[in-house]
A and B are shown apart, each in its own frame.
Chain A
Amino acid sequence: MTSEMPRTIRVVTLYPEVMDVYADRGNLLAVQARCRALGVGVEVIAIGLGDALPSEADLVLIGGGQDREQRRIAPDLAAKGSALRAWADSGTAMLAVCGGFQLFGNFYRTGAGEELPGVGLFDVTTVAPAPGMPRCIGDMLAQSEVPGVGELVGFENHGGRTYLGPQGQPFARVQHGFGNNGDDGTEGAVYREAIGTYLHGSVLPKNPALLDRLILAALRHRYGAEATIERSRDEYAERAHRAAAEVARRKGRPNS
């Protein structure tokens, strides 16, 4: 019955003009394409610097930015922190990638020792690399800790090292690549239906199980726990996923 009714989700993209350095727009494009196939409408609200958030959202997307851009949005984003945390507590689905993930944590400490305040949604903190420490760059393969999401593929490129706090739950375990800090094997963070990750590539198009999980969570936020989506295979996504996994196994830094 519910599947017969036209359904729509509201997607809020945060600072899409500036926080999109690693093609994170691909995540929104993937949500739109998949929802089109599922017959789900997508209402997109783009929030720029200084814009007020709407009262509700079913899915929030934020990408990564250059250092200068990240510094520019950090205070505005932190001011939206309590609203975003309330959304997360209400079960709003979220995907925060790279710089967006860092800013969804407690704070980002720059090389100069300055602390950029974060949203505090994930119990993680990020520190700039010590002088001479290289960036974490390369193909990544990871196993998600979130049920049903499974193997994850993508590319990472970040200087900051992120550490989970006592309440922090990792999103995935790294098999090839660096992940949060290149040391403890964790990748990203998860809080209720909110996911933070260093994976781009873009991450959603070639990780269809993650894409479906976020769309389902968004539908459940809007229409209640009974909402379902039709499982269907996307051959293009599966092939791209397999190809990227193969590349990560061949070229990605092995995680011992």
Chain B
Amino acid sequence: MAGVGIRERGALLLGRGAGEAVRRLGRGGGTALPGLVAGRLAPGLLEACASQLGHGLITVTGTNGKTTTSHLISAAARIAGLHPLHNRSGSNLERGVISTFVGEVDGTGTMPGAADRLGVIELDEAVWPRLLPSLRPRVAVFLNLFRDQLDRYGEVDSVAEGWQRALAAYPFLTTLVLNVDDPSVAALAEGNAAREVIGFGIEDVGVALDGAEHASDARFCVCGATYRYDAVYMGHVGVWRCDACGRARPTPVVSARNIRLGTDSTTFELVVGREVTEVTIPLAGLYSVYNALAAAAGAHALGLPLEATTRALAESGPAFGRQERFALDGRMVRVLLAKNPTGLNEVIRTLLALPDDATLLALLNDGIQDGQDVSWIYDADLERLAEREFRLIVSGDRADDLALRCAVAGLEPRMVERDIAFALNAAIAATPVGGRIEIIATYTAMMAIRGMLATRTGAQPYWESTE
């Protein structure tokens, strides 16, 4: 039903024109503008474009891990011989998605080679319900739901309710890929008996935390009782059950066993149904295992061969700004995105595996994409870093807030400097050649410093340069 009408065609031309104009003016980014223009003019455009995809479309949403997961699914699809259409991480709002499609169709609204194409679309968790009717995904991956930017999203409960309401309102036979370890995600299976559900989760209590972390949400079951945990992997994610009503974590179809966490990579047994494959991913941290599992479960739901998935996990490397590594002036620099308490706790857990001579450059911004409310840094367990002797430099627009948070945690920053470029130079100077600099950054700070790193290293990410 490639029903691109006259209205959509006009919108397309204007949208593409706007994108061209931005590029000619040399204003970086601007990827949302064509979508903004086209979307205003023709609300049916998205549906008209998405419906042309020969292999349909998979959405990826949740608080943490969207970009890495959709990056891995795209890689698996490419290895399997498909031609994925993938939006960039900063483009996961409505107009960013429309822009992605506008860039892929011609002036008549036809997508060349659409028969071989698979849409891999990461979506902001608050936007997902609105775009469901236009995108009509074959598969929808739900990663997790953590406390994140309450000033923007409101409370965690309302995001989950939005997903559930949209699923109830649009009875497409979308396959649901759910993180069974997150009770608020697992709950989506209820009321969706007509849909296929594929659960993923971790089956290795050896990597569980000793107790619940501070930044944990969803402690209460829908029946009102408190969840009990046999194992907590992060935040409120783990092996949960409710003794009052009998709800419990379902057994996952896709899981990870025997997980070995390294400083720069992670090895585990990937279980998909009855098949077990040993996989090493070039990403650190348990959260990376969750992203890998979500990608494997999504690929499985799409019917991609397991061989394509395992190759993608092993070979495709980090997504933009997510554990990307750069070689800079003889130092290894790694960029770790952390934009909410659970994300930061996971990054801290990853850092604790490093030797003490690493330099930490921690960046806190308060832009709209970072969250204007910086209080979330008090929900993360920075106290755990106080046992260690890392060199710490604090920067970003809210460097002073972060420095105070560190001081409350018993950490003494060597330098507090709002200017990120200046702080980066200080981090290099403080780190011996051959040493490592770990950059922990909120979203806009990550974008800023990644730009500086790309320029200074000739845009050669460490991962690609070593292949």
Most A Cβ at <10 Å: residue of B147, B408, B416: B408
A251 within 8 Å of B (CB atoms): yes
Interface band, chain A: 35 or more
A53 within 8 Å of B (CB atoms): no
Knowing A33-B407, A251-B372 touch, does A25 contact B378 (C-beta < 8 A)? yes
Residues of chain B from 353 to 379 with CB closer than 8 A to chain A in the complex: 366, 372-379
A29 within 8 Å of B (CB atoms): yes
Bitwise interface map of A from 109 to 137 toward B, beta carbon under 8 Å scored 1, else 0 = 00000000000000000000000000101
Knowing A157-B150, A236-B404 touch, does A201 contact B375 (C-beta < 8 A)? yes
Cα(A211)–Cα(B186), bound, Å? 42
B247 within 8 Å of A (CB atoms): no
CB of A215, distance to nearest CB on chain B (Å)? 14
Knowing A23-B377, A25-B214 touch, does A139 contact B404 (C-beta < 8 A)? no
Q: Which residue of B lies closest to A28 (CB)?
A: B378
A46 within 8 Å of B (CB atoms): no
A21 within 8 Å of B (CB atoms): yes
A149 within 8 Å of B (CB atoms): no
- Give chain B residues whose Cβ lies under 8 Å from the Cβ of A3: none
Contact B400 A243 (CB under 8 A): yes
CB of A124, distance to nearest CB on chain B (Å)? 22
Q: Which residue of B lies closest to A27 (CB)?
A: B378
CB of B433, distance to nearest CB on chain A (Å)? 31
Cα(A135)–Cα(B152), bound, Å? 11
Bitwise interface map of A from 134 to 164 toward B, beta carbon under 8 Å scored 1, else 0 = 0101110000000000000001010000000
Cα(A222)–Cα(B408), bound, Å? 25
- Give chain A residues whose Cβ lies under 8 Å from the Cβ of B403: 236, 239-240
Contact B376 A247 (CB under 8 A): no
Bitwise interface map of B from 133 to 172 toward A, beta carbon under 8 Å scored 1, else 0 = 0000000000000010011001111000000000000000
- Give chain A residues whose Cβ lies under 8 Å from the Cβ of B373: 22, 137, 155, 157, 200-201
Cα(A25)–Cα(B410), bound, Å? 16
Contact B219 A25 (CB under 8 A): no
A68 within 8 Å of B (CB atoms): yes
Contact A205 B378 (CB under 8 A): yes
Cα(A26)–Cα(B375), bound, Å? 8
A30 within 8 Å of B (CB atoms): yes
CB of A31, distance to nearest CB on chain B (Å)? 10
Contact B378 A26 (CB under 8 A): yes
Cα(A155)–Cα(B375), bound, Å? 8
Residues of chain B from 377 to 401 with CB closer than 8 A to chain A in the complex: 377-379, 398-401
Cα(A237)–Cα(B400), bound, Å? 8
CB of B298, distance to nearest CB on chain A (Å)? 30
Contact A205 B147 (CB under 8 A): no
A85 within 8 Å of B (CB atoms): no
Cα(A155)–Cα(B416), bound, Å? 22
Knowing A67-B155, A68-B157, A139-B372 touch, does A23 contact B379 (C-beta < 8 A)? yes
Contact B404 A237 (CB under 8 A): yes
Cα(A80)–Cα(B73), bound, Å? 53
Bitwise interface map of A from 61 to 84 toward B, beta carbon under 8 Å scored 1, else 0 = 000001111001000000000000
- Give chain B residues whose Cβ lies under 8 Å from the Cβ of A239: 400, 403-404, 416
> Looking at chain B's contact residues, is the secondary structure mostly helix, strand, loop, or mixed?
helix
CB contact between A155 and one of B157, B372, B404, B407 (< 8 Å): that residue: B372
Knowing A17-B219, A25-B378 touch, does A205 contact B400 (C-beta < 8 A)? no
A219 within 8 Å of B (CB atoms): no
Cα(A68)–Cα(B222), bound, Å? 11
Cα(A66)–Cα(B219), bound, Å? 12
Contact A205 B379 (CB under 8 A): no
Bitwise interface map of A from 1 to 36 toward B, beta carbon under 8 Å scored 1, else 0 = 000000000000000011011110110011001000
Cα(A20)–Cα(B155), bound, Å? 12
A206 within 8 Å of B (CB atoms): yes
Cα(A26)–Cα(B366), bound, Å? 18
Cα(A23)–Cα(B379), bound, Å? 5
CB contact between B151 and one of A18, A26, A33, A137 (< 8 Å): that residue: A137
Contact A22 B150 (CB under 8 A): yes
CB of A252, distance to nearest CB on chain B (Å)? 10
Most B Cβ at <10 Å: residue of A67, A155, A206, A240: A240
Residues of chain B from 402 to 417 with CB closer than 8 A to chain A in the complex: 403-405, 407-410, 416
Q: Which residue of A lies closest to B373 (CB)?
A: A155
Contact B401 A240 (CB under 8 A): yes
Cα(A243)–Cα(B365), bound, Å? 12
A-B contact pairs, 19 of them (CB 8 A): A18-B219, A20-B379, A23-B375, A23-B378, A26-B379, A26-B408, A33-B410, A66-B156, A69-B220, A138-B372, A155-B375, A202-B375, A205-B404, A205-B405, A239-B403, A244-B401, A247-B366, A247-B398, A251-B372
Nearest first, the 10 closest Cβ-Cβ pairs linking A and B are: A26-B378, A23-B378, A243-B400, A240-B404, A23-B375, A236-B407, A239-B400, A236-B404, A66-B155, A240-B400
Interface residues of A (CB under 8 A from B): 17-18, 20-23, 25-26, 29-30, 33, 66-69, 72, 135, 137-139, 155, 157, 200-202, 205-206, 234, 236-237, 239-240, 242-244, 247, 251
Knowing that A137-B151, A155-B151 touch, tell me 14 more A-B residue pairs with CB under 8 angstroms. A21-B150, A23-B376, A25-B379, A66-B157, A67-B157, A135-B154, A202-B375, A205-B408, A236-B400, A236-B403, A239-B400, A239-B403, A240-B404, A244-B401
